[in-house]
Amino acid sequence: MIVKQWRKGWGVLPLLGMAVGCGGAVTEEAGGQQRQTAAVEAAALPPGCEILGTEYHASGRPAGDTYVTQDAPDTPNPASAVIISDGNPRQEAYLRFRVDGLSRATVLQATLRLHAQDGSSNGPALYATSPDWSEHTLTWNTRPPPVGPPLANVGAIASGTFVEYDVTAHVTEDGLYGFVLLPEVGDGTDFAADRHPNTSLRPELRLRLREEQPRCQHFGTGGAVTQVLRGDAHANALAADSSGGFALLSTVHYDAAPYGTGLRLTRYDANGTPVWTREHPQPGEWLTLGGLALTPLGNLLVYGRYTGALDLGAGPVPGTGAGTYGLFIAKFSPTGQFVWAHAFRSTVQNQGTASQGQLMAHGIATDANGSLILTGEFQGQLDLGGGVLDAGPSSHPPGGPRGMFLAKFSWEGTHLWSHAFAAGEDGSTQGHAVATDSQGHVLVGGNTSGTNALGTAAPQTPFIARFLPTGELQWARRLDGVWGNIMGVAPMPDDAVAFSGHVRGTFTFAGTPLTSMGESPDMVLGVLETTSADRWGRLYGGIDGEYNRGLVVDAQGNLVTKGFFNHATDLGAGTLNPYQAGEVNPYVASHGPDGSHRWSRAMGEGLIPTLLAMTPSGETLFGGYLLESEPIRVDQTHYTSDDGFTFLLRLSP
């Protein structure tokens, strides 16, 4: 298959470069019309869209091959590693390929490439034939005849070589194509079949294509790029303050021993100018940084995972050491100086034997008191300072599902309260997002399975919950009927609860059934009242899958989300598909307080979207880190990791 099907945001535009005169030559009059048509089409493109005319290579999808023999007219040959075209005895080879995506591209060249296991003094001729057959039942007596003259022919074929048949004139549109190889001499050719053990020798329908439809990267009147910030580290998390300044948490990789990785904190003013940078190289074996929160006084709260020793500026953190791995939380002063840190590990009890369990955090938040609130998942048992938490019996066997934890620590790092929510027998319960509202309520999003304090649910049921500042569960709203995750929660200006995530299936929200497209999840966006009643909920996306990775809300109640999608999506204004088919594209999108589309932006694979925040003026800070050798393209400008891994955009409201 060449490209996946996608949902269009407007009617199909005519292909460019197709006006021809008699005999295939472009006449002066037709050429002028062609140029005029191209100009009209270019002018008619929505802002943020362009026809790239990019050339790329693709392949038809094999749909079966076989051969038939005149001497055995009722015998199929469905399991052979070769297909044979021979004049003595008479044998004919059949192949099928499925081609999709040509409605969006022009075929520049189509080539059937075969590998000759046994050559011939004169290779067979290739004909088109009906594709309505199966290799499991096709015989000499049921074989379809060739259609029309030969598509291509070759001369002598040496054994152990590839032979190519040009079928450009024949492969012109989507569909299932059938071919037959008819012998012209008695010393026929054996070709490698699609069942050949060496995959590199199997038949291929190779295509060289040129995109002809618009590629759109940006919709809406906001979301324009006003600043691009770069850095040499891998940016993991971002947090903004009430002045418009912000802080960045990054992983630094060192070439020289004894350090391999380190933690870097960088503070920026409202103009994006660095104010200070602090680094903490780690002697441990491995460090993975997670989230970042800024307290009202400007202190920085972080979490991450580690192996070995962990030293953030005041000697090894208690509980860490060689050969161990776990979770840490830490606090740094407004100038980046280390204040305190705690490390935790979980333990699995399996048939009387204790071993290390999986433990990771996914969300961090603070409140008016500078508290640290954390949520995530763990296996087995965990003590965050208030006693043993248990993820449930199903989480103890190796490889078992995980339970959720939620905990709150004071500004001094003292444990205030913590809770566990058990895994189900066949699914995990996980906390993926956490935030606080103006009253100090703790908002949590994630997925739940089985039975726990969040209720009884099918495996990986998305949920949104609100807890009192003292830790008691106030309410939980599950999206029963769908599989998925809530990946972002945030308070609205009136303390209603906004949420975002991705779901697959059908659920009812505010009395309306909502159903995702296709077999992949769609982005879900919605708001719950402070009482947990449904305010509004919507699904956005296409059939190839959207995967949300976070949410922020501004003072006016506008919601901004980030994530990625496969190939193409529609987040409310038309199809975003900035690069070629099959790519994983990061996105950032803004929707109004009622869920209406304001603007959306996407870019091709090469960016890992870890960063999202909003300034008091409504600007969006969005980005992450770039992959090596994977450039991205933003507003006709290419960016690569050669200029630094950190990539941060400031986008207009």
Q: Tell me, what's the pLDDT at 543?
A: 77
Q: Tell me, what's the pLDDT at 538?
A: 97
Taking the complete model, does pTM exceed 0.95, yes or no?
no
**Strand, coil or helix: what is 27?**
coil
| Dist. CA 279–CA 253, nearest whole Å | 11
| Higher-pLDDT residue of 353, 598 | 598
Query: What rounded mean pLDDT belongs to the chain?
Result: 89
For residues 151 and 110, is the Cβ–Cβ distance under 8 A?
no
| Dist. CA 530–CA 494, nearest whole Å | 9
| Dist. CA 485–CA 401, nearest whole Å | 15
My answer on whether omega of the bond before 124 falls inside 30° of 0, hence cis, is no
Q: Tell me, what's the pLDDT at 197?
A: 95
Q: Is the pLDDT of residue 582 over 70?
A: no
For residues 13 and 41, is the Cβ–Cβ distance under 8 A?
yes
Q: Is the pLDDT of residue 164 over 90?
A: yes
- DSSP characters for 299-333? -EEEEEEEES--BSSSSBPTT--TT-EEEEEEEE-
Q: Is the pLDDT of residue 262 over 50?
A: yes
Q: Tell me, what's the pLDDT at 172?
A: 93
Q: Is the pLDDT of residue 216 over 70?
A: yes
Please compute the mean of the pLDDT values over residues 196-209 and round it to a whole number.
Answer: 95
**Strand, coil or helix: what is 36?**
helix
- DSSP characters for 452-520? ETTEEEEEEEEEEEEE-TTS-EEEEEE-TTEEEEEEEEEE-TTS-EEEEEEEEEEEEETTEEEE-STTS
Q: Which two tokens stand for residue 408?
A: 């709150």
Q: Is the pLDDT of residue 407 over 90?
A: yes
Tell me which residue has tokens 């980046």: 336
56-211: which CATH number, 2.60.120, 1.10.10, 1.10.238, 3.40.50?
2.60.120
Q: How confident is the model at residue 393 (pLDDT cuts 50, 70, 90)?
A: very high
| Higher-pLDDT residue of 85, 57 | 85
Q: Tell me, what's the pLDDT at 330?
A: 97
Least confident stretch, 409-418, 451-460, 511-520: 511-520
The one-letter amino acid at 386? G
- Taking alpha carbons only, the member of 610, 611, 622, 608 closest to residue 652 is 622
Instruction: Please state the φ and ψ torsions of residue 32, each to the nearest 5 degrees.
Output: -65, -40
Q: What is the pLDDT of residues 129-144, one digit of tens each?
A: 999 999 999 999 999 9
Q: How confident is the model at residue 7 (pLDDT cuts 50, 70, 90)?
A: very low
Instruction: Please state the φ and ψ torsions of residue 370, each to the nearest 5 degrees.
Output: 75, 20
- Domain residue spans in the chain? 56-211, 241-344
Q: How confident is the model at residue 35 (pLDDT cuts 50, 70, 90)?
A: very low
Least confident stretch, 259-263, 401-405, 570-574: 259-263
Please compute the mean of the pLDDT values over residues 209-213 and round it to a whole number.
Answer: 80
Q: Tell me, what's the pLDDT at 44?
A: 67
Q: Which two tokens stand for residue 187?
A: 């010393």
- DSSP characters for 525-559? EEEE-TTS-EEEEEEE--SS-EEEEEEEE-TT--E
- Taking alpha carbons only, the member of 389, 323, 313 closest to residue 356 is 323
Q: What is the pLDDT of residues 471-501, one digit of tens each?
A: 999 999 999 999 999 999 999 999 999 999 9
Q: Is the pLDDT of residue 580 over 70?
A: no
Q: Tell me, what's the pLDDT at 32?
A: 39
| Dist. CA 295–CA 523, nearest whole Å | 30
Q: Is the pLDDT of residue 55 over 90?
A: no
Q: Which two tokens stand for residue 92?
A: 């004919």
Q: Is the pLDDT of residue 629 over 80?
A: no
Q: What is the pLDDT of residues 308-365, one digit of tens each?
A: 888 888 888 887 776 678 999 999 999 999 999 999 999 998 777 888 889 999 999 9
Q: Tell me, what's the pLDDT at 57?
A: 86
Q: Tell me, what's the pLDDT at 101?
A: 77
Q: Is the pLDDT of residue 430 over 50?
A: yes
Tell me which residue has tokens 């043993």: 388
Instruction: Please state the φ and ψ torsions of residue 266, each to the nearest 5 degrees.
Output: -130, 130
Please compute the mean of the pLDDT values over residues 527-531 and round it to a whole number.
Answer: 98
Start-to-end Cα distance in the chain: 40
Q: Is the pLDDT of residue 525 over 50?
A: yes
Quote the distance between the C-alpha of residue 105 and its chain's center. 24
